[in-house]
Amino acid sequence: MDPNPIRPMRGKARGRPQLPNVGSNQQGSIPPRPQFTQPRPTQISAQPIQQPTQPGMNRPPRPMPPRPSGMLLQRAPRPSSGPRPSSGVVSASKIDPPIEQVTEGLQSLTATGDGLVPIGRGAVRGRRQIDTDHFRSPRPLSSMGATGKQGISGQPVQLLSNYFPITSYTNWCLYQYRVDFNPEEDRIGTKRGLLAQHRERLGGYLFDGTMLFSGTRFDPETFDLVSIRRSDDLKVVLTVKFTSVIETGDYANIQVFNLLLRNCLRHLDLKLIGRNFYDANAKINIPQHKLQLWPGYETSIGKYENSILLCAEISTKVMRQETVLDFLNQCYNDNRNRSGSNWNDIFKSGVVGTTIMTLYNNETYRIDDVDDASTPSSEFSKKDGTKMTYIQYYKEKWGVTIRVNKQPMLISKNKKSSRRFGDETLVYLVPELCVMTGITDAMRNNFTLMKDMAIHTRVNPDQRIKRLTDFANRLLKSSESMAELKRWNLTLSNKLVDVPGRVLPIEQLRSNSKAYDAGIEADWTKHLRALPMYTCASMKSWVIVTPQDNVRDVQAFAQSLHKAAQGMSFSLPQPIISTMKDGRGFSFVNTIEDVINSKNPNLILCVIPSARGDIYSLIKRKLCIDRAVPSQVVLLKNVQKNNLSVCTKIAIQLNCKIGGAPWLVPIPKKGMMIVGFDVCHDSQRKNVSYGALVATMNDAHTSYFSCVEPHESGEELSNHFASGIAKALTKYRSKNGSYPTSIVIYRDGVGEGQISHVHKTEVKLLKTACEQFYGPTSVPLAFVIVTKRISTRFFANCKQSPQNPQPGTVIDSVVTDPTKYDFYLVSQHVRQGTVTPTHYHVIEDTLKLPPDIMQRLTYKLTHMYYNWSGTVRVPAPCQLAHKLAFLTGQTLRNPPNTGLDELLYYL
C-alpha cells in the first residue's frame, strides 16, 4: 500500500456544494424584521466580538459587524434568472465539441431561479417553519413502479435497527410563535428561565430558544410579558408574536417532536455539547493519554415509510484534559531551545482549524486564527460606545476570573452570519478558558493511544443494542420525561424496530485464467497469489530510488517483489537501483529528475526512511505535477520486513498504476460509463477545494479516466463538475469510437441540506453539457448521492446473539424515506465493532434501471477497488475519486499533470 504519512482527519475529504454567488439586493430577498435590534457582545453575545484595542496599536481595526445572534435572519435570495445557453446539437459521429464550448454559458445557467441556495445542517432549527421544497428533490419515476423502490434479488433476512417506534402520537394542530427579548439574550437556558416565569399563562408549550409552539392560540396574537433575570434582577421584556399554524401532517410536526425529545433528554442529567447530549457522570478517564471519553447519544425523530421513528445512536466525545493555554505552554517548553523552530508557529499550526469547547458554557467553536496583538486586558467597544476589557467582561458576564494576562486571543469566524449577511463576524476567545477537543493527527498515528481508546469506543452489536435499550428505558423511567411525554400524549416503545432485508448473491470475480467467489466475508486475498491478474500491463523498465545505506535491504526487497509478481503472471523486470547520499526530500527530487532524464522509466519507486509528510509531498509533487511518471512510495521499515504479503499488495499496485487490473467483476450492461466524484479542501489554502472526477472507460470497468478541477470558496462547483463530464465523454469516444449509451454518477460529500441544490444545479448542468454531445435527446443518466456518515445501524437477529449483517445486505423499506428513492447497503465485512452501512439516494434517473439492478450494480462496484482484496464501503469509482481528491488537496495542492489522466497513479 502506498503510505501517506499524513493521516486523513475525519471530515477532511467531505465537500459541499458551494453557495451561488448572489447579491443581497436581488429580487426575492426578505428584509429583516424592523423591530429587532442588532445584538452587542457585552449584553447579549456569548463572546465579545469587537476588535480589541490597546494603547499604542497602530494597525487599523478590522471592520466587524455585530454578531446576529438571537434575531430573525433573512433568507438568502434566489438568484436572478439568466438566459439558458443554447444547446449545440452534436451527434456521436461528429467531432467532439471543445470543452470551452460545452461549458460556455454554464455560469449564467447557475444563476437561474432554480438555483436555490442550499440549507445546511441545523439551518432550520428554531428559525422558521420548515419548507420542504428547499431540501426535497422529486422522487424519480423509476422507483414508483409495481415494486416501488424495493429490489427482489437475494435471500430475505430479518434485522433489527437502532430505531424505536413511536407507538402513538397526537393528531394535533399547533400554533407557532416567535419570542424576542429586550434587552436581547443569547443564553438559551436563561431564555427558558425567563419564559418559564409565565407558564401559568402560557400553559403547555415547547420552546427552542426562538420559536414557541403551543396548542393554544393566544389572543391577542402579539403581546408582551415582563420577567426578572435572576442573575442581576434586570427587567426583561418578552415579545410573543404569532407566526403560523402547524396542521396535522405538516413536516414541521417533526421539528416539534424533536424539540419535545430534547426536553426529555434534559431531564436525564445529560450535558448538551454541540447538538448532542453526553453523560458527564459516566465519563471514562484515560490518564496515560490525558483524555476523557464522554459517552452520549445522537437522537432524531423522522417520518419513515409507514411510521414515525426515533433514531438513537451512541456517541463518544473525546475531551482532552488540557486547555489551549496548556498546549501553548507545552509548545513553548518543547521548542524554545531548538534551533530553527518557532514555538509560536507550532502553536498556531496545532490550534488553527481545531474545535475547542469553552469551560463556562460548553459551547464549541472552530479556531480560525490567533491574534498575537490581543490579550485578555485588551479592550473592545460596548453597545453604548464605552470600552471594556475581556477580563472585566468574563468576570461580569460569566463570573470567571482570568488568571494569566499574557496570552494571545483565539479568533473564531461566525460562518453562519457570513453566509447570511455576506460579512464575517469574529468571536474572540481566551485560551485559558478553552479546552481542546478531538484527537490530532499525531494522536491518530499513536497506535497505543488508538488501541486504548478503541476498547471503549469500538462496540460490537450485542453491546450496542444493550446500551441503546438502556437509553430507552432510562428515558421512559424518568418521571420528568414521562410527564413531558404524557403532556403531549406521546408514547415511545423501548423495543428496537424490526426491519426486513435481503442478502444479495455472492459475487463472482474473474482472473485471467478462472473465476472464483468473493466468499461470504467478501475477502478474496487467498486467491491473489496463486492466480494470474486479469490484465497485466507492460513494465519495460522501472527504478528504485533509495539512500545508499539501504541498498542491501532494497535488493532483497526487489527479489521478493519479483517473486510475488511472478506468481500473479506479472512480468516485473529487475529494477535499476539509483542511490543517493541521504534521505532528505530535495535529494529525492534531484535524483528523480536525473533518473527521468537518463532512464525514462515506466515507474519510480521511492524508499523513504520515515513517514515524514514533507518528503512524501516533495516526491509526489515532482512525479504527479512536474513530471508525469507513476510512482510508489514505500517506508524503509516495510522494505526491511521483506514480507511476502506486503510485496503482493505492492506488486498489484505497480500493475494498476501503469494500466493493469488484478481482477474483474462482470457487469452485463454494455456501453455504460460509471463516474465517481468527491471533493477535498486544500490543506493550506482553506478557501480552495479540489473536485476529483473518475470515470470508467471500458465495458469491463477496469480502465479509468480522471481529472481534477480547483475551485475557490463561493465559486459554483457545478461548472467544474460539468467540465469534467465533458472531458470524460471526449476521452471515452477517443478510446471506444463512440460515446457511452448510459451514465451512472456516484456523488459523495453532499449533506442533506444540499441535495436540492445539487439536483437543481449540478444535475441540470450535467444534462446541458451532455446535450452538446448527444443532441436534445441527451443520454440516459442516473445520479446517486452517496452518504457514509450516518447514524443508522443494522443487526442480524441471530439465535445466539446479535451479529453484523453479511456483506451484500440491502435494506429498502421501513427505515427509508417515503419521499426518496433510497436504500441502505452493507457492503463490507468488519471483524471488530459494528458495521456502518452506506446510504444511497437516487435523485435523478432517466436511465430507468429497475431498483433491483441499481442495488446489484452498486454492490458489484464495491468489489472493484484495487487497493483492497475485499469489498469497500462505496463503489470503486467513488472511492477512487476520494483518493484522488485527498491526494490533490492534502499533498499536491495543485491539479496533477494531465499526462497521468488514464492511469491509477493515485491508488
Catalytic residues: 678, 716, 748, 882
Please choose, from the candidates 786, 749, 747, 752, the residue with its C-alpha nearest in 3D space to the C-alpha of residue 300. Answer: 752
Q: What nine digits make up the cell of 128? A: 422558521
C-alpha dist (Å) from residue 525 to 178, 808, 845, 866, 906: 61, 18, 36, 11, 22
CA distance 107 to 96: 21
Per-position DSSP letters for 103-133, written without gaps between them: HTTHHHHHTSTT-PPPP-TTTTTTTS---GG
DSSP class of residue 864?
Answer: -
Single-letter code of the amino acid located at 6: I
User: Across-strand partners of 286?
Assistant: 291
Per DSSP, the three-state class of 464 is: helix
Which residue is listed with cell 446541458? 768
Per DSSP, the three-state class of 31 is: coil
How much of the chain is in helix, strand and coil states, percent to nearest 5? 30, 25, 45
Please choose, from the candidates 847, 854, 846, 795, the residue with its C-alpha nearest in 3D space to the C-alpha of residue 822. Answer: 854
Burial 151-190 (b: 16+ CB within 10 A, else e): beebeebebbbbbbbbeebeeeebbbbbbbbeebbbbbeb
Per-position DSSP letters for 631-673, written without gaps between them: EEEEEHHHHHHT-HHHHHHHHHHHHHHTT-BS-B------SEE
Cis peptide before 220 (omega within 30 of 0): yes
Single-letter code of the amino acid located at 724: G
DSSP class of residue 893?
Answer: -
CA distance 474 to 478: 6
CA distance 331 to 731: 51
Other Cβ atoms closer than 10 A to 203: 12
Q: What nine digits make up the cell of 180? A: 424576542
Question: Is residue 757 exposed (0-12), middle (13-18) or buried (19+ Cβ within 10 Å)?
Answer: buried
CA distance 210 to 72: 9
Rg (CA), the chain: 29
Please choose, from the candidates 859, 728, 851, 844, the residue with its C-alpha nearest in 3D space to the C-alpha of residue 806. Answer: 859
Kindly report the length of the chain.
907
